Amino acid sequence: MLGSDYAGQDCSIARALEVVGERWTLLIVRDAFLGVRRFNDFQAHLDIPRAVLADRLRHLVEASVLERAPDPDDGRRTVYRLTPAGIELWPVLFALLTWGGRHGRRPATRRRFQHATCGGELDAHGRCPRCGVVPGAADVITMRVPGPEQREDPVSVALRAPRRLLAPLEHAA
């Protein structure tokens, strides 16, 4: 039961969960899609112990989902950004988001997702009904549906405005 591998499970779902199945990992990847790149910003938004965050980030870098790069604002620091393989996790996140919005046991703030090219609102399959394409994450604009504010950390506040996925968030926390 310990560890994150599924050595005896010979299927691609198990292979994916070995990379992204640990607690908090997919929420870190979600934040990376929303443009979070700095350790302190992940930490402010996720509110988890720094050691847990560091462990999950290291695992994601080792698995080539995230890559480290110098912070353009401060070369002594590091940012984490999604690799091409990481960006391919978008359908996983969108499917979880769709399901959680319909069947989660508690309400959650909703987000809308639009195709940046034409403004079409993505359907439950992540498809733009206007164009018929399934846009990649870089062509998706997300905006928060107004509702009761539940988090007031600086990253949550910064993420309320409409934004294009993968566009780097300015330093927030």
CB 15 → a copy of itself: shortest distance, Å? 3
Q: Is 135 in the site for a copy of itself (CB under 8 A)?
A: no
Q: Report the half-sphere exposure of 94 (CA within 13 A, side-chain side).
A: 22
CB 146 → a copy of itself: shortest distance, Å? 13
Distance CA 150, CA 145 (A): 13
- Backbone phi, psi, residue 137, to 5°: -55, -35
Q: Is 131 in the site for a copy of itself (CB under 8 A)?
A: no
Single residue of 63, 116, 143, 173 touching a copy of itself by CB under 8 A:
63
Q: Please tell me what DSSP assigns to residue 4.
A: S
Q: Is 61 in the site for a copy of itself (CB under 8 A)?
A: no
Distance CA 172, CA 159 (A): 10
SS3 assignment for 9-72: CCCHHHHHHHHHCCCCHHHHHHHHHCCCCEHHHHHHHHCCCHHHHHHHHHHHHHCCCEEEEEEC
Q: Is 30 in the site for a copy of itself (CB under 8 A)?
A: yes
CB 148 → a copy of itself: shortest distance, Å? 9
Q: Is 173 in the site for a copy of itself (CB under 8 A)?
A: no
Q: Which residues, other chains included, contact 59 with Cβ-Cβ below 8 Å and sequence gap of 6+? A: 4, 19, 22, 25
Interface pattern 65-94 for a copy of itself (x via CB under 8 A): x-------------------x--xx-xxxx
Q: Is 40 in the site for a copy of itself (CB under 8 A)?
A: no
Which amino acid, residue 123? D
Give the footprint of a copy of itself on this chain (CB under 8 A): 1, 4, 6, 8-19, 21, 23, 26-27, 30, 46-49, 52, 63-65, 85, 88-89, 91-106, 108-111, 124-127, 134, 150-151, 156
